Amino acid sequence: MTPMQIVFLLVASVTLASAVMVVSTRRMFHAALWLILTLLGVAILFALLESRFFTIVQVVVYVGAIAILVLFAVMLTRHVMSEDQPQLNRSWWIASLATIGLFTGMVLVMRTWPIFTTTQRAVGPGGEDLQKLGFAFVDPSGFMIPFEIVSVLLLAALIGAVFIAAERKGGKG
Amino acid sequence: MATEILIWLIPLPPLVAFFLIALFANRWRGLSHYLALSGAGLSWLGSMVVFFTAISREELSKNPIISSINWLPTADTWLKLGVQVDPLTVVTLFFVAWTVLMIFIYSVGYHNYGQPLGDHDHPGLPPHGAHLKDEHGHEHRVPSVEPMYSRFFGFVALFAFGMFTLVLTDNLLALYVGWEIMGLCSYLLIGFWFGKDSARKAAVKAFLTTRIGDMFMLIGLVSLYKITGSLSYSQIFSEASLQLLTSNASPIMGLSWAGFIGLMLFIGTVGKSAQFPLHVWLPDAMEGPTPVSAMIHAATMVSAGVYLVIRFFPIISAGWVPGEALTTTMTVMAFIGAFTALFAATIALAQNDIKRVLAYSTISQLGYMVAALGVGAYGAAAFHLVTHAFFKALLFLGSGSVIHGMEHGVLHTGEEIDPQDMYNMGGLRNKMPFTFWTFLIGGLALAGFPLVTAGFWSKDEILTGSFSGGFMAVFITLALAALLTAFYTMRQITLTFLGQPRTHSAEHAHESKWTMTLPLVILSVFAVSVGWAGIPKAFPVLGGLIPPWFEEFVGSMIESGHGEEVISHSLVPLATSLVVSLGGLTLGWLVYSKVKSGQPDPLQKALGKIYSVLKNKYYFDELYQFLIIKPAFWLATSFTSEWLDRSIIDGILHSFGRFGLWVGRGLRNWFDIPVVNKTGDSLAEGTRGLGSVLRVIQTGRVQQYMVIAIAILVLFGTIFFLFSSGLL
Amino acid sequence: MNSIPMSWYLVFSIGLFCIGLFGVLARKNAVAIIMGLELMLNAVNVNLLAFWSYLYADGMSGLVFVTIVFAVAAAESAVGLALIISAYRRRNTVIAEDMNVLKG
């Protein structure tokens, strides 16, 4: 067991454990915090995958924005649902069955793929070439159109979110 | 040429009068009788011209005046229609024209033309009389005019047309047409006062009874046409045709065709001339007004029956030679005629209604003529036909005058008596002299008073004919009937005119107007003088003075006609007829001259139980009612109408209907609703059911949707994986 | 030299994905569902980057994909949370089960 493997296992298990806590804890605030931890763990994994850019992006976007957003939502809707009652709905056992089934199935399918257990990386030691990524985004024969569409999507989401969540009386809309 | 045209025209004026009255002149009484009288007068004029023209022709029987046209095209020949004037036609035309005209004139007075309308007279009932105030303010009840005056003249004009047609035509089909027209008019006129139930019944009875005879006559007519191929007299009475008829046998009882046809035609006469057994309609026909009784039942319609058999004598007597056995039809005729003569005479003895006596007398005299023809006395039968028409018409019109006189008395005194009952009369000879004398002449003619009345000569002819032919049974029967005839005639005259009035109405009777008495006078002249046209040569003293024109003229129609007068030399028939007529008359006067009012009929004491049988006409009406009418009625109502028609035929139709309904219901309940409706409904129901089953999935909970999606995804993924890796 | 097999990363991502899926399917609170959704998206990103890293490092399509996933995830969580707030305002509940107006 190389040190990398140990690090990986550690990080992976922490991440998974906190993910499990996210989905099973009763107290919403705790769930949000566990979510932050999970996201950080994922960021570390990104780093292990030699992707420096996305590590940072993950922390900035996910933890810095989305998780905060989730926290706000939790805080705004806290008093509605009592935290003593069960948090899982009636068909949680079907869900768990499906989930386990899916996990098992996918792992089994993956195992039939020979390259599944390779350890050889294609990426160089420096990680990704960010400039190349940037050029790829704006290159018409590259990924410019998806880039633009995503921009529009973000714009729409922005406007939509503001609109939906606005107060009816006196607010926008 | 002109004569032929004139002959064609003779029947037409009364027909035109009928149409004009029916269509236009119905409301004006004077115009109506004027039209009818003009019609009758024109026909009379034409008949007289034709008469005198015809009798001056030579050998009229060999060369009759015939004029015919092609009428109906049959396969290779024509059915012809035309007129024929031969000796028989001529003498018949003579008496028909005179009696019709006299009766028309009489009817004007009989129906009280010129009198006011009655107080409460209804059309359909006899007039009851009107109240008149004279200049002193006294109220009298006077006879009122007949409300249906014009209708009467229309009908009798139509009737006259029918009779003229029958007499003048040259074929049997047109004769039948005239026969039926007269039958119709007889029905209409007997039921003239249709408000009376008895008149309605009598009209139907007359029509139906004569119909029976007509039916057989039609069978004879059709058979004749089939065998000989023609209906014209000149063809069917030709030698060839008679030969054909006598030599071939008909399918009925071994008779030859001539015998069969003759028998069928004779049955027509039995109906029309009221012989036994179809005599029952004539007495009831007295329900009609008296001119109707005179015309139809004395002068013309019943004479038409006898005219028919006289006309068809060649066929009836085909194969007969005088001195040998009679043909079957002739035997039947002799029997029925003689029987009827005696039978009706016995009934007439016990009748009290003045018109009924005359009705039975008519039946009896017609029996004489039929019997005469049956024994082959052709000329005698024709002679009696002519004389009888005159004196019987005279008697009927006279009785009508008597009844009018009595009604006047009834209106004056207000008594409630039957003006027609002879027992309410008496002593009328002083009140109504014209009527009395003319009636007396007619009655003596009927009784056969010697020498001065026509009836004597014609009756004597018949008795001679039957005696000299050796038919003793017929002779004796007819002689007896003559005795009874004289008896009841004198009874009638005595009760009506002689003695003292038996009721107040009879006291107040008075003579009728000139329109009624003039025809009586004219007819009485004929009743006396016509007989002198037929004095036989063999008659003692008087024979040979005046040539026996009638026998020669009419007798020339048949071969054997000549033979009669030569054969008889015996005085027995003459003596017999003298005895019976004078004896009967005296006896009648003796018995009845002393009858007072309220007394029963002397005959009743003499005959006892038989009297009531005679009075009730031998109960023949009751017998027919029981034997024939009730079963026929039962057949019509119970059997045919109810059972056949309603139960069976309607039942079949109803069952069709029910069957259709049943099929319809079955289809509806077993196919339409369960199959057709069900299919549509089940589609909808199934869809809804399926929907409500599937709706369970749609819970609105997104998480459940996702769960299901994931579950299926896993499932399918497994299946595909296993497929692709070859494990399944 | 690398010693971590790709399979570890992949199994990890599958596991994280399934945990997130469980959270989405089985949690009552709507915000918790969003959180599970974030977990799933993160698992996807890990998966993508693992493949990029081990196999397709020269092409940019992997990274572009990841970028887009990031963007989409952000947008979607923003909008989703806004919807939850709005729904909460209307119905005064954040329980996903109670929002069953679409029930047929």
- Inter-chain CB proximity C103 and B700 less than 8 Å: yes
- Of A28-37, B236-245, B332-341, where does mean pLDDT reach its minimum? B236-245
Give the distance from residue C57's alpha carbon to the nearest chain B alpha carbon, in angstroms. 29
- Inter-chain CB proximity A115 and C6 less than 8 Å: yes
d(CA B358, CA B298) in angstroms, rounded, equals: 9
- Of A1-15, B98-112, B637-651, C28-42, where does mean pLDDT reach its minimum? B637-651
In chain A, the residue whose alpha carbon lies closest to the alpha carbon of C27 is A88
SS3 B66: strand
- Inter-chain CB proximity B695 and C104 less than 8 Å: yes
Chain C residues inside the 8 Å CB shell of A65: 74
Q: Which residues contact B125 (CB under 8 A, 6 or more apart)?
A: B193, B195, B196
In chain C, the residue whose alpha carbon lies closest to the alpha carbon of A40 is C42
Q: Is it the case that residue A172 has pLDDT exceeding 80?
A: no
ipTM of the complex: 0.91
pLDDT at B561: 43
| Residue found by looking up tokens 């990029």 in the block | C52
- The chains in contact with chain B, meaning 3 or more Cβ pairs closer than 8 Å, are A, C
Say if residues B96 and B47 touch (Cβ distance below 8 Å): yes
Give the mean model confidence (pLDDT) for residues B80-94: 87
Torsion of CA B519, B524, B529, B531, to 10 degrees: 110
At residue A65 the predicted structure's pLDDT band, cuts being 50, 70 and 90, is: very high
- Inter-chain CB proximity A105 and B703 less than 8 Å: no
Chain C residues inside the 8 Å CB shell of A134: none
In chain C, the residue whose alpha carbon lies closest to the alpha carbon of A107 is C11
d(CA B724, CA B303) in angstroms, rounded, equals: 128
Say if residues B192 and B285 touch (Cβ distance below 8 Å): no
Q: Is it the case that residue B430 has pLDDT exceeding 50?
A: yes
- Average pLDDT value over all residues in chain B: 85
pLDDT at B566: 45
d(CA C86, CA A77) in angstroms, rounded, equals: 11
d(CA C100, CA B699) in angstroms, rounded, equals: 7
Say if residues A160 and C83 touch (Cβ distance below 8 Å): no
Q: Is it the case that residue B27 has pLDDT exceeding 70?
A: yes
Of B698, B707, B710, the CB nearest to C103: B698
Task: Write down the domain spans for chain B.
Answer: 393-608, 622-692, 698-728
Q: Is it the case that residue A150 has pLDDT exceeding 60?
A: yes
pLDDT at C1: 59
Print the SS3 string covering B489-504: HHHHHHHHHCCCCCCH
pLDDT over 90 percentage in chain B: 29
- Inter-chain CB proximity B703 and A91 less than 8 Å: yes
pLDDT at B212: 92
Chain B residues inside the 8 Å CB shell of A102: 710, 713-714
- Inter-chain CB proximity B700 and C104 less than 8 Å: yes
Residue B327 DSSP symbol: P
Between A171 and A125, whose confidence is greater? Answer: A125
Chain C residues inside the 8 Å CB shell of B702: 96, 99
Residue B326 DSSP symbol: P
- Which two tokens mark B299? 């002068």
In chain B, the residue whose alpha carbon lies closest to the alpha carbon of A104 is B714
- Of B135-149, B402-416, B647-661, C58-72, where does mean pLDDT reach its minimum? B135-149
CATH of domain A3-128: 1.20.120.1200
Chain A residues inside the 8 Å CB shell of C64: 133, 136-137, 143, 146-147
- Inter-chain CB proximity A98 and B714 less than 8 Å: yes
Give the distance from residue B718's alpha carbon to the nearest chain A alpha carbon, in angstroms. 7
d(CA B155, CA B363) in angstroms, rounded, equals: 24
pLDDT at B545: 66
- Strand partners of residue B433: none
Task: Give A 84-113 residues with CB within 8 A of chain C.
Answer: 86-92, 94-96, 98-100, 102-103, 106-107, 110-111
* Per-position pLDDT tens, chain C of length 104: 578 888 999 999 999 999 999 999 988 888 999 999 999 999 999 999 999 988 887 888 889 999 999 999 999 999 999 998 888 888 888 888 787 787 76
Chain A residues inside the 8 Å CB shell of B713: 102
Chain B residues inside the 8 Å CB shell of C99: 700-702
Cβ burial of B591 (10 Å; 0-12, 13-18, 19+) is: middle
Task: Give A 133-152 residues with CB within 8 A of chain C.
Answer: 133, 136-137, 142-143, 146-147, 150
List the one residue out of B17, B21, B71, B14 whose CA is nearest residue B47. Answer: B14
- Inter-chain CB proximity B698 and C104 less than 8 Å: yes
Q: Is it the case that residue A171 has pLDDT exceeding 70?
A: no
At residue B161 the predicted structure's pLDDT band, cuts being 50, 70 and 90, is: very high
- Which two tokens mark B422? 């002879």
d(CA B376, CA B560) in angstroms, rounded, equals: 8
- Inter-chain CB proximity C21 and B710 less than 8 Å: yes
- Average pLDDT value over all residues in chain A: 87
Say if residues B193 and B135 touch (Cβ distance below 8 Å): no
d(CA B174, CA B183) in angstroms, rounded, equals: 14
Residue B595 DSSP symbol: P
- Which two tokens mark B542? 């008087």
d(CA C3, CA B576) in angstroms, rounded, equals: 179
At residue A169 the predicted structure's pLDDT band, cuts being 50, 70 and 90, is: low
Between B308 and B718, whose confidence is greater? Answer: B308
Q: Does B725 touch chain A (CB under 8 A)?
A: yes
Of A19, A51, A69, the CB nearest to C49: A51
Say if residues B375 and B356 touch (Cβ distance below 8 Å): no
| Residue found by looking up tokens 């009364």 in the block | B14
The correct CATH number of C6-97 out of 1.10.10.10, 3.40.50.300, 1.10.287.3510, 3.40.50.2000 is: 1.10.287.3510
Give the distance from residue B677's alpha carbon to the nearest chain C alpha carbon, in angstroms. 29
Between B641 and B263, whose confidence is greater? Answer: B263
For residue B330, report the phi and psi dihedrals to the nearest 5 degrees. Answer: -65, -40
Say if residues B374 and B474 touch (Cβ distance below 8 Å): yes
Of B701, B703, B718, the CB nearest to A105: B718
Of B707, B713, B721, the CB nearest to A109: B721
Task: Write down the domain spans for chain A.
Answer: 3-128, 129-173
Task: Give A 1-60 residues with CB within 8 A of chain C.
Answer: 2, 4-5, 8, 12, 15-16, 19-20, 22-23, 28, 31-32, 35, 38-39, 42, 45-46, 48-51, 53-54, 57-58
Chain C residues inside the 8 Å CB shell of A66: 38, 73-74, 77-78
pLDDT at A151: 94
Q: Is it the case that residue A91 has pLDDT exceeding 90?
A: no
Give the distance from residue B701's alpha carbon to the nearest chain A alpha carbon, in angstroms. 11
pLDDT at B370: 92
At residue B482 the predicted structure's pLDDT band, cuts being 50, 70 and 90, is: very high
Peptide bond into B277 cis (omega under 30): yes
Helix (H) or strand (E) holding B384: helix B378-413
Q: B139-142 and B78-85: which strand pairing?
A: unpaired
Q: Does A101 touch chain B (CB under 8 A)?
A: yes
Say if residues C96 and B701 touch (Cβ distance below 8 Å): yes
Chain C residues inside the 8 Å CB shell of A104: none
Most confidently modeled range among B381-390, B427-436, B642-651, C40-49: C40-49
d(CA A47, CA A54) in angstroms, rounded, equals: 8
| DSSP helix, strand, coil percent of chain C (3-state; round to 5) | 75, 5, 20
DSSP for B342-376 reads: HHHHHHHTT--BHHHHHHHHHHHHHHHHHHHHHTT
Tell me the pLDDT tens digit for each residue of B397-429: 999 999 988 888 888 887 777 888 888 888 888
d(CA B182, CA B160) in angstroms, rounded, equals: 8
Q: Residues of chain B whose C-beta is under 8 A from some C-beta in C?
A: 695, 697-703, 706-707, 710
Of A69, A118, A156, the CB nearest to C54: A118
| Residue found by looking up tokens 């973000």 in the block | A154
Tell me the pLDDT tens digit for each residue of B538-593: 666 666 666 677 777 777 777 544 444 444 556 787 888 888 888 888 888 888 87
Give the mean model confidence (pLDDT) for residues B512-527: 89
Helices B197-228 and B172-190 sit at what angle, rounded to 10 degrees?
Answer: 170
pLDDT at B560: 47
pLDDT at B568: 52
Q: Is it the case that residue A89 has pLDDT exceeding 60?
A: yes
- Inter-chain CB proximity A164 and C66 less than 8 Å: no
Q: Is it the case that residue B388 has pLDDT exceeding 80?
A: yes
Number of Cβ within a 10 Å radius of residue B136 = 5
At residue A9 the predicted structure's pLDDT band, cuts being 50, 70 and 90, is: very high
Of C25, C99, C100, the CB nearest to B706: C25
In chain C, the residue whose alpha carbon lies closest to the alpha carbon of B707 is C25
